[in-house]
């Protein structure tokens, strides 16, 4: 392919990169125009999503970038999630006297890294994408500079993120040394008749490094502390788009690069998924802080997505994509509602703070109830359908024990979701809530409507689109 054709495949990433640079210069000269910069960033994300959806498709830069149905599906979802978090976060910071134009630009840079992750065709572009999005997330975690907990969250995320980067690099170097190439297609040819011990060691390190990025247990130790300390809208962003990007990268790496070693990595993924479900379900029972509770919820839900991927089939990848998109709706909506709530000037972050919320803010209480029931997997909410697809794929792949244990994990986790609902609906109020900001109410209630009942109609589009995307990852 010519250089111009290669650039054509990278148009979504170029739109984000150029948009971020232009807005950075504009913000530097007009720092008080933070809101205008934010809406311009939303427009840049919309343009990138449109470009990703319309193509062109193919392989570029000697196979380093792959643009196909899989990358298009993931990029549209990632850019949409990122765009929702920009107005939510900007208004949250404004209400606390932090008027910074850097927030939407960091979101753009993180989205750029995630776009590269889902389009990666070799280990080098994989690492560049992971690091670009990670560096932006480290800064976002510590964005509220006057808050000691936010600074601590950013530092913890950075230190443990550096460890995961080291694991990724070491694994990539082992794979390159024993397979002789960094391209996924060449690695697939090298392991077609069985992977050598060196390649398998490298693959294990790659899986561990990506396990950090998706908060899979036992690589989850950063998640509760970072979620608790980071600004609430930033947590809404952390818990959604980066998880989808890392899971899609997982699927592309394993399907297109290590399809011949499926028997080996399938066992590792099943163990990783079940450990995550167990840790998320049982550790969440002891949590009082809602951010920490949903951190463990995200660990458990990533476990379900990994179980879907461990099926090692196109159906399994399809179930993972549907699960992650629907989970993104739930977690973004829940944290949008949480960002809207204050009681007498103090953020409401614990389960006790939610006492009597239904009597004071029935709309937000209903929305948070919908998100909790969806994350629980109660029919007919979106989370129920997501788990049905995952369990169906696991059973079809001959993994009945994984499906049964996953169902048990859902039953255990039901306690902390139902406890929150009980406190909101039936406990007496402990004060008067402040008037919620309009943008957070709109985002929270709108996404709650998607969780139920609009999702039943949306699945008619999402499920087949995820099916077309799944076939691009090399698994059948």
Tokens of 333: 């909506």
The tokens describing 241, both together, are 């788009």
Q: Which of 452, 280, 463, 274 is nearest to 374 (CA)?
A: 452
For residue range 201-218, what is the model confidence (pLDDT) as tens digits? Answer: 999 999 999 999 888 988
Give per-residue pLDDT as tens, 296-352: 999 999 999 999 999 888 999 999 999 999 999 999 999 988 888 888 778 888 888
Q: Work out the pLDDT band at 1, boundaries 50, 70, 90.
A: low
Residue whose structure tokens are 């993924």: 269
pLDDT at 103 over 60: yes
Which residues partner with 343 through β-bridges? Answer: 346, 433
What confidence score (pLDDT) does residue 319 get? 92
Q: Poorest-confidence range of 5-9, 79-83, 270-274, 406-410?
A: 5-9
Percent of residues, the chain, with pLDDT higher than 90: 41
118-135 average pLDDT score: 91
Q: Integer distance in angstroms from the first to the last C-alpha of the chain?
A: 28
Range of the domain at 39: 3-473
CA R_g for the chain: 21
Looking at the chain, the whole-number percentage of residues with pLDDT higher than 70 is: 99
**Mean pLDDT, rounded, of the chain:** 88
Mean pLDDT calculated for residue range 240-246: 92
Residue 56 has pLDDT above 80, yes or no: yes
- 66 DSSP β-pair partners: 59
Residues facing 371 on adjacent strands = none
What confidence tier does 110 reach under pLDDT thresholds 50, 70, 90? Answer: very high
What pTM was estimated for this model as a whole?
A: 0.93
Q: How many domains does the chain have?
A: 1
């Amino acid at each position: 392919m010519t250089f111009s054709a290669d650039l054509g495949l990278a148009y979504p990433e170029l739109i984000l990169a150029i948009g971020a640079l232009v807005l950075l210069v504009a913000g530097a000269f007009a720092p008080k125009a933070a809101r205008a910069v934010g809406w311009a960033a939303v427009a840049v994300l919309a343009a990138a999503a449109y470009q990703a959806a319309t193509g062109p498709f193919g392989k570029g830069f000697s196979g380093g970038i792959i643009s196909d149905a899989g990358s298009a599906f993931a990029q549209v979802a990632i850019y949409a999630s990122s765009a929702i978090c920009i107005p939510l976060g900007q208004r949250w910071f404004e209400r606390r006297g932090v008027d910074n134009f850097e927030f939407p630009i960091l979101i753009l840079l993180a989205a750029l890294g995630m776009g590269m992750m889902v389009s990666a065709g070799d280990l080098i572009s994989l690492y560049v994408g992971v690091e670009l999005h990670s560096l932006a997330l480290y800064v976002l975690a510590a964005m509220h500079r006057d808050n000691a907990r936010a600074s601590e969250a950013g530092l913890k995320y950075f230190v443990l993120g550096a460890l995961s980067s080291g694991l990724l690099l070491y694994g990539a170097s082992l794979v390159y040394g024993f397979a002789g190439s960094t391209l996924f297609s060449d690695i697939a040819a090298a392991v077609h008749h069985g992977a050598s011990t060196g390649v398998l060691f490298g693959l294990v390190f790659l899986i561990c490094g990506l396990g950090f990025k998706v908060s899979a247990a036992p690589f989850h130790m950063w998640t509760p502390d970072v979620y608790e300390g980071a600004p609430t809208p930033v947590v809404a962003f952390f818990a959604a788009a980066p998880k989808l990007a890392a899971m899609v990268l997982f699927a592309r790496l394993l399907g297109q690069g290590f399809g011949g070693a499926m028997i080996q990595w399938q066992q590792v993924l099943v163990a990783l998924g079940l450990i995550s479900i167990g840790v998320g379900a049982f550790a969440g029972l002891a949590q009082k802080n809602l951010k920490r509770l949903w951190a463990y919820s995200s660990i458990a839900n990533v476990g379900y997505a990994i179980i879907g991927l461990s099926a090692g089939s196109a159906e399994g990848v399809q179930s993972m994509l549907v699960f992650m998109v629907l989970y993104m709706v739930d977690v973004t909506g829940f944290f949008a509602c949480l960002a809207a709530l204050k009681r007498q000037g103090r953020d409401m972050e614990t389960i006790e703070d939610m006492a009597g919320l239904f009597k004071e803010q029935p709309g937000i209480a209903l929305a948070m109830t919908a998100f909790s029931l969806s994350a629980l997997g109660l029919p007919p909410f979106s989370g129920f359908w997501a788990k049905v697809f995952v369990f169906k794929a696991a059973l079809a792949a001959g993994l009945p024990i994984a499906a049964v244990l996953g169902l048990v994990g859902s039953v255990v986790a039901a306690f902390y979701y139902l406890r929150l609902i009980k406190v909101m609906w039936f406990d007496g109020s402990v004060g008067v809530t402040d008037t919620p900001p309009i943008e957070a109410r709109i985002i929270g209630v709108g996404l709650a409507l998607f969780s139920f009942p609009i999702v039943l109609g949306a699945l008619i589009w999402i499920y087949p689109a995820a099916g077309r995307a799944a076939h691009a990852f090399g698994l059948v």
